[in-house]
Structure 1
Amino acid sequence: MRWSLSRPLAVVASLAAFASPTAAEPILQSNSLNTCQENSGFSASLFKVVFTPNNHTANVDIVAVSSVQGNVVFDVEIFAYGFQIIRQQVYPCKTDLKGLCPMTAGKIPLNFNIDVGESAVKQIPSIAYTFPDLDAKVRVYINMTDGDRAGQSVACVEADVSNGKTVDLLGVKWATAIVAGLALVSSAIVSGLGHQNAAAHVAASALSLFGYFQAQAMIGLTGVHLPPVVMSWTQDFQWSMGIIRLGFMQSILTWYQRATGGTPSTLFDSLTTVSVQVEKRALSLAKRSLALVPRSIAEPVTAVVKRELARRANIQTSSGSYIVYGIQRVAFRAGIESTNLFMTGLVFFCLLVLFTAAAVAAFKALCELAVKNRWMPNDRFLEFRNGWHTVLKGILFRLTLIGFPQMTILCLWEFTQKDSAAEVVLAVFFLFGMTITLGWAASKVIRIARRSVTMHHNPAYILFSDPQALNKWGFLYVQFRASAYYFIVPVLGYTLVKAMFVAFAQNNGTVQAVAFLILEAAALIAASVLRPWMDKKTNSFNIAICAMNFVNSIFLMIFTEVFNQPPLVTGIVGLVLWIANAVFALVLLIMLIVSTVFVFFRENPDGRYQIMADDRTSFMKSQTHLTTTTELDALAATARGDKSGFKGGLDLDDDAESITSDSLRRQTEHLNVPSAAGSAAGSMSGSYPGRPRSPASPVMPLFPADGPRSPPRYTDQRPASPFGAPNRPASPLTFRSPSPWQRGAGYDH
């Protein structure tokens, strides 16, 4: 069978990884040519081949640099998932191609069309045109056929090929983003309606799913050489890191960088004249490209390349092609200049915060307008309307927690890039600002919980009974059981350490893979042993995510090729990672959608969830039906530690102020009620010397039962205190039937 140069070129363009599902006809293409041996005498700064099987034509556009002189033969090998499927020798002298027979030294520009024979087309399997992100490449050895080096390989080049189909789909990005976003919004609305239990479950699942998306994105940000399908799959979740391209925004960010003394990269402006190589081992590739340069020049240039690699990954080799890997590989695939990547993520995070704050303020105004015009009952969203400033603070804190992985990676990475002085200042401000803010918030939660344990022997009391604590700091602990309030600290530490390895170890994918393996193993062990989330379902949901992240870290270690496995194994593992994570993500999305839908279409969505073991719902106060005109309401507010109105009794912004017997006495004097702390001081001092006194009076019912009001009457019935305190003599006061407080989510059924 006669082979021409058209055959390898056609197959080079044929066994490609998928790119875009919009292609109307099957194509096979390649956009870069990489060297694959030391001292390679042939390279290309521009290499574009597009083969269309329908018209049997391959368009070739090459700008090659050669130091080979003489007659040569091309030894062509074609691999799919590391498995060699074709090996064939091609003699360029049998084709009429100028500069290849014999090969001459110098720059060889070629731009031509080749008619591909029917026999060559038939050898390409049909799956090559349809399977997404097919991991295939063509490797060509150039062997001398005459002279002293006859039979020796003087050059080696290889090209990754694509067929225009990919799993990097815009629809996947929109679907995942919309589901996660709507789930978070739904949890906020349901919480405002008074279904705290259901809202907490939906919010916890949405946050965990968002964290899983960010973990997928981090795999793509590593400097490990990933199979094509893994690169495309992880690219689907880069939106969760703020890596989203808007054309006008890129122009503004480029102008900003120039205005602040930076030098923007112009990689995309050069694509018509140079190729971009997606590579992990950029230094080894640069060394191979420098093999054509005399040693006296190559050594200092290599030193410069090493320094440049530590600062920036957009390296231009001696052949003129560019190398991108790791974070800049993600930026290139997203169509973003690497020097704009940090500002892109920063701007999207700031826009998210601004739009959310504006939406909350608009919702508050809309609620007030609806109540004023009697479009909505007066008690609807009452708790939100009374304390919307505190709710807004809690929402902004939650957004800070969501954006923490994104901003930590981008800010730390900006320290290595130094795109401009102003951008470095912004990176310092946001990194330390967000880290200190979340660290301070976590310490605040720990102090509140410890105070609750000291006063009430239960961390859930103040954490869930005080509306200010719940609305402002609840984003850090509501997803955990009350006794695991501290678990947010290891979560933040895990995120910070992981981000440091992603940002600072871009030049060593093996170090990143080992760090990921250790961190994910620790996370899985901690989640499985401690089971810190609120209930069994939520624990199972999060442990499954930790397990999948651990499996992904094992796959990432395999991609580093430290085990010297056959290339076929690497290709198959890449497919397994994609299929397993696609199925897993689909299951999580369906679970979250079902949970959210049930919340809106069930009469009592809280009844779907079990009562939490920490009994948090007993301490939650719903103000939907709160009436503050009766003596019992006022006394119950004192027992809860509430100040007037919405704010809780503990001034959580001022640690110097706390509930004491004096403060309780002042709050109850106007009711002519003996202070609970004062009456209990004598009996309690013996059992708990030196302890602060609980604001709950054991003789008073802390949680009134729902029901219609009854006429005032005396009673000798004294319910047991929920805190285990002994019964006290009956109070001489007359009490009315309690107002219909809700005990909390989960008690309505």
Structure 2
Amino acid sequence: MRWSIVLPYLCALVSFSPLASAIRLLQSSSLNQCMENSNFTASLFNVVFTPDNRTVQLDIDGFSSISGNVTAELIVTAYGFTAVTLEMNPCKMNIAGLCPMQTGQIKVNPPLTVAQDVVDRIPGIAYSVPDLDGKVRIYINSTDTGATIACLEANMSNAQTVYQKGVEWTVAIIAGLGLVASAITSGLGHSNTAAHVAANALSLFGFFQAQAMIGATSVQMPPIVQAWTQNFQWSIGIIHVSFIQTIATWYQRATGGTASSLLSSLSTTSVEVQKRWFEDPIGLTRRGLDWLSKRDDSTNVAKSDTIVINGLTRVGFKANIEVTNIFLTGLIWFSVFVCLVMIGVSAFKGICELLVKNGKMSSDKFQDFRNGWKVVLRGILFRLILIGWAQMCVLCLWELTTRDSAAEVVLAVVMFFSMLGVLGWASFKVISLARRSVTMHKNPAYILYSDPSCLNKWGFLYVQYRATAYYFVIPVLLYLLIKGMFIGFGQGKPVLQAVALLIVEAAFLVGVMVLRPWMDKKTNIFNISIAAVNFLNAIFLLVFSNVFNQPGMVTGVMGVIFFVINVVFALVLLILVLIASIYAIVSKNPDMRYQPMRDDRNSFIKSSTALNTELDALGNTARGGEMELKSTAYHPTYEDEPNSFSGGNGASINTRPQYDGHRAPPSPVDPSVPLFPSHGPPPSYEPYSHDLGRTASPARVGDFDPASALAAHNFRQQNNSSPWQRGAGYDH
């Protein structure tokens, strides 16, 4: 099989966009030194070679310490393989300014014509494979002594890349569609489908963020890996919009910072995307920016400096964002996203009410959402904070090392610890409620899924896991925090980043394979596969860090393999989420597609309105008395009253209302908490005697009716046995 034929078509297929270009070309926009004490440097280097007309267009602005006649040896490599070697004599080629070379400023911009035999020696694959990993190295030798007096290196590109706006929009829309589909199906009462679609959509979004984190490391990666991971930087808020950049620059300057002007200086500045590791990239970038701010029209050595970028600075540069605006851009987009979602949910509530009021929509549609929309809105806000946790970990911690301005550092600290506090408190509440549920009902799912306030506010942390793995959100948060710390704080240490991410991904993969914490087998397979690919990517990253000192061809080939594996895997995930989302929206009964979860959560998530009405009727029948029946689905306790399960004062079932002897005692079932009937009360329902100052059983012996008891027994038989006597997820 000829890879020169297969690769272009494969890349065009999997990158969702046509990569072929009508004009074949090779170009370079930066010239880097490849030896110490090089006598030639360039502040501007643009070279474009078009094989169809055999011309080379040069635009070079450099500084030379060389005088006299020189010759040049040119070596072209692709993926570590030497493709072309040429000997050049500037005098024979009539290159003005280079024959002979003079010390001082040198400007070269004449077009050159290349011989046909040289054009024929360049393989056709060089013009078609996206993100070509090619280099041109030039050794300048003295004609008199034959010694090498300068070494220059330029990275080649063929203007074909897998970094495409179409890819960004496609993956973002499909991920967003999954979240919207889960919200709609949840509002329609299909809780099982909503839980599955939401879990897969969030896992897909997490995979996108993991790809973005790989690209944000300071490891020197092949161009195709850099370009592919750039497609996912939107997931951590790296999105270019002109007016947001204007706001970020203004804010930084207004708060005492010095804004960079790298992007506006490209016509006079050579920018090197790091390919060889010399020293701390942030230090190099800072010195380059200082040079830019002090640059003038005088001729001096400073003019020959080259700005080196990598890691997050490279990500921002490729996204057309100034280095000093990266953090604030991510923060602004996260805030905008939260505000838009809040406005959208509020608008949807208003639209639903208008439609119901005008008779355009049935009153039972989205009834649970319309009755308790404020608590639902709070739960959505918490979920958004969870989604943005990885993004803000990276950007906030990185801002502490760059310190673009004092105000931005304060914003980073406040945002990071606010999100940490919110997620930490939510995790503590979930664990506390689950433990109380286990103590009282021998089943963690009982309180976590029966109390609508608890489910809507804190459910974002545990609904994707089985009931007995409610705690797994803690390892996930720590996993993302550790990754963010190494990426944010370790921008100057590529090997450390690679080794740390490998260890973290390996530990996480082992953990999820052993625990299998997600809600069912398919969801476990979905997420374990993502963890496995993330671990494989960490292995690739370690190889890219050159810790093994492997040949360049190995790195280039592994870069292509990395791209193929990830693009195929991402495509499979996107298709699965897209199919699930469409099915959830168009199907009349999407829950049929999913098996009931074995932790019995569906028994507790039933519509609160219908369930409480049935339970009140059952209690009234068992007592033989008359009791007012009304819908109590969204009792005031739903709004976080003190006696709610999730309100902080303990389970509401322990609060006994006062009543006199002339009124029938109320049901021991709190109407704000839709409990499920059972064969016997849990331990906390033990009757207390009046002698001890406690409430006695509300059912008197004289009120017993055999027919009522038989009706209650039949109701229990129809609704299965006690939920804490069934699976409850313990058999996973």
Match of 2:74 in 1: 76
Q: 1:601 to 1:548 in 2, by over 3 A?
A: same
One-letter amino acid of the structure 2 residue matched with residue 336 of structure 1: I
1:447 maps to 2:432: yes
Match of 1:270 in 2: 265
Once the two structures are superposed, residues 677-709 of structure 1 have per-residue CA deviations (whole angstroms, 9 ceiling, x without a partner) of 9998899599xxxxx99x999x9xxxxxxxxxx
Match of 1:172 in 2: 167
Post-superposition shift, 1:306? 8.9
CA contact (8 A) 1:262 1:420 kept: yes
Distance (Å, rounded) in 2 between the aligned partners of 1:22 and 1:198 = 41
1:722 maps to 2:697: no
After TM superposition, the structure 1 = structure 2 runs for residues 204-215 of structure 1, keeping only pairs within 5 Å, are 204-215=199-210
Post-superposition shift, 1:282? 5.8
Q: What is the aligned counterpart of 2:318 among 324, 329, 333?
A: 333
Post-superposition shift, 1:503? 0.7
TM-score by length of 1: 0.83
One-letter amino acid of the structure 1 residue matched with residue 378 of structure 2: K
One-letter amino acid of the structure 1 residue matched with residue 74 of structure 2: V
Match of 1:43 in 2: 41
1:249 maps to 2:215: no
SS of corresponding position for 2:388: helix
CA contact (8 A) 1:664 1:675 kept: no
SS of corresponding position for 1:62: strand
Distance (Å, rounded) in 1 between the aligned partners of 2:639 and 2:333 = 33
CA contact (8 A) 1:138 1:160 kept: yes
Match of 1:55 in 2: 53
Post-superposition shift, 1:632? 1.6
Distance (Å, rounded) in 1 between the aligned partners of 2:265 and 2:191 = 55
Q: 1:156 to 1:502 in 2, by over 3 A?
A: same
Worse-superposed segment, 547-556 or 588-597: 588-597
Distance (Å, rounded) in 2 between the aligned partners of 1:436 and 1:313 = 38
Post-superposition shift, 1:67? 1.6
Fraction of identical pairs, as percent: 51
Post-superposition shift, 1:71? 2.7
After TM superposition, the structure 1 = structure 2 runs for residues 419-458 of structure 1, keeping only pairs within 5 Å, are 419-458=404-443
One-letter amino acid of the structure 2 residue matched with residue 658 of structure 1: A
SS of corresponding position for 2:49: strand
CA contact (8 A) 2:67 2:100 kept: yes
After TM superposition, the structure 1 = structure 2 runs for residues 313-712 of structure 1, keeping only pairs within 5 Å, are 318=302, 319-623=304-608, 625=610, 628=613, 631-632=616-617, 643=635, 646=638, 650-652=643-645, 654-663=647-656, 671-672=664-665, 675=668
- Mind listing any 5+ residue stretches in structure 1 that lack a counterpart? 1-17, 285-304, 687-691, 700-711, 726-743, 745-749
Post-superposition shift, 1:144? 2.1
One-letter amino acid of the structure 1 residue matched with residue 208 of structure 2: F
Once the two structures are superposed, residues 324-377 of structure 1 have per-residue CA deviations (whole angstroms, 9 ceiling, x without a partner) of 111000000000001111111111100101110000000000111111111111
CA contact (8 A) 2:668 2:698 kept: no
Post-superposition shift, 1:57? 2.1
CA contact (8 A) 1:67 1:105 kept: yes
Match of 2:86 in 1: 88
Worse-superposed segment, 662-671 or 359-368: 662-671
SS of corresponding position for 1:98: coil
CA contact (8 A) 1:312 1:417 kept: no
Distance (Å, rounded) in 2 between the aligned partners of 1:198 and 1:668 = 48
Once the two structures are superposed, residues 379-429 of structure 1 have per-residue CA deviations (whole angstroms, 9 ceiling, x without a partner) of 110100000000000001101000111111111111111111111111111
Distance (Å, rounded) in 1 between the aligned partners of 2:335 and 2:318 = 23
Distance (Å, rounded) in 2 between the aligned partners of 1:253 and 1:267 = 15
Q: What is the aligned counterpart of 1:203 among 172, 194, 198?
A: 198
Match of 1:101 in 2: 99
Q: What is the aligned counterpart of 1:181 among 152, 176, 179?
A: 176
Match of 1:119 in 2: 117
SS of corresponding position for 1:715: helix
CA contact (8 A) 1:46 1:64 kept: yes
CA contact (8 A) 1:314 1:328 kept: no
One-letter amino acid of the structure 1 residue matched with residue 143 of structure 2: T
SS of corresponding position for 1:65: strand
Q: 1:551 to 1:256 in 2, by over 3 A?
A: same
Distance (Å, rounded) in 1 between the aligned partners of 2:428 and 2:536 = 32
Worse-superposed segment, 628-637 or 556-565: 628-637
CA contact (8 A) 2:645 2:652 kept: no
Q: 1:655 to 1:682 in 2, by over 3 A?
A: closer
Post-superposition shift, 1:97? 2.0
Post-superposition shift, 1:310? 9.6
Q: 1:619 to 1:314 in 2, by over 3 A?
A: farther
1:223 maps to 2:198: no
Post-superposition shift, 1:110? 1.1
Distance (Å, rounded) in 2 between the aligned partners of 1:667 and 1:682 = 23
Post-superposition shift, 1:182? 0.9
Q: 1:562 to 1:670 in 2, by over 3 A?
A: farther
Post-superposition shift, 1:641? 11
Q: 1:362 to 1:93 in 2, by over 3 A?
A: same
Once the two structures are superposed, residues 144-196 of structure 1 have per-residue CA deviations (whole angstroms, 9 ceiling, x without a partner) of 231xxx23221111100111110000000000000000110110010000000
Q: 1:683 to 1:542 in 2, by over 3 A?
A: closer
**C-alpha RMSD of matched pairs (Å):** 3.3
Post-superposition shift, 1:499? 0.4
One-letter amino acid of the structure 2 residue matched with residue 117 of structure 1: A
Distance (Å, rounded) in 2 between the aligned partners of 1:191 and 1:333 = 39
Q: What is the aligned counterpart of 1:130 among 128, 131, 134?
A: 128
Distance (Å, rounded) in 2 between the aligned partners of 1:673 and 1:307 = 69
SS of corresponding position for 2:150: strand
Match of 1:156 in 2: 151
Match of 1:705 in 2: none
Post-superposition shift, 1:141? 1.1
Distance (Å, rounded) in 2 between the aligned partners of 1:604 and 1:91 = 77
Distance (Å, rounded) in 2 between the aligned partners of 1:185 and 1:714 = 46
One-letter amino acid of the structure 2 residue matched with residue 249 of structure 1: I
One-letter amino acid of the structure 1 residue matched with residue 396 of structure 2: C
Provide the aligned length of Structure 1 versus Structure 2: 667
TM-score by length of 2: 0.85
Q: 1:348 to 1:673 in 2, by over 3 A?
A: closer
Q: 1:545 to 1:629 in 2, by over 3 A?
A: closer
Once the two structures are superposed, residues 591-643 of structure 1 have per-residue CA deviations (whole angstroms, 9 ceiling, x without a partner) of 111111221233321111112121111111314646749842777999x9985
One-letter amino acid of the structure 2 residue matched with residue 35 of structure 1: Q
Match of 1:10 in 2: none
Distance (Å, rounded) in 2 between the aligned partners of 1:252 and 1:117 = 51
Distance (Å, rounded) in 2 between the aligned partners of 1:663 and 1:528 = 45
Post-superposition shift, 1:124? 2.3
Once the two structures are superposed, residues 459-501 of structure 1 have per-residue CA deviations (whole angstroms, 9 ceiling, x without a partner) of 0000011111111111100000010000000100111111010
Post-superposition shift, 1:113? 1.1
CA contact (8 A) 1:310 1:416 kept: no
CA contact (8 A) 1:379 1:625 kept: no
Distance (Å, rounded) in 2 between the aligned partners of 1:668 and 1:176 = 65
CA contact (8 A) 2:440 2:684 kept: no
- Mind listing any 5+ residue stretches in structure 2 that lack a counterpart? 1-14, 292-300, 622-628, 671-679, 689-693, 702-706
CA contact (8 A) 2:281 2:492 kept: no
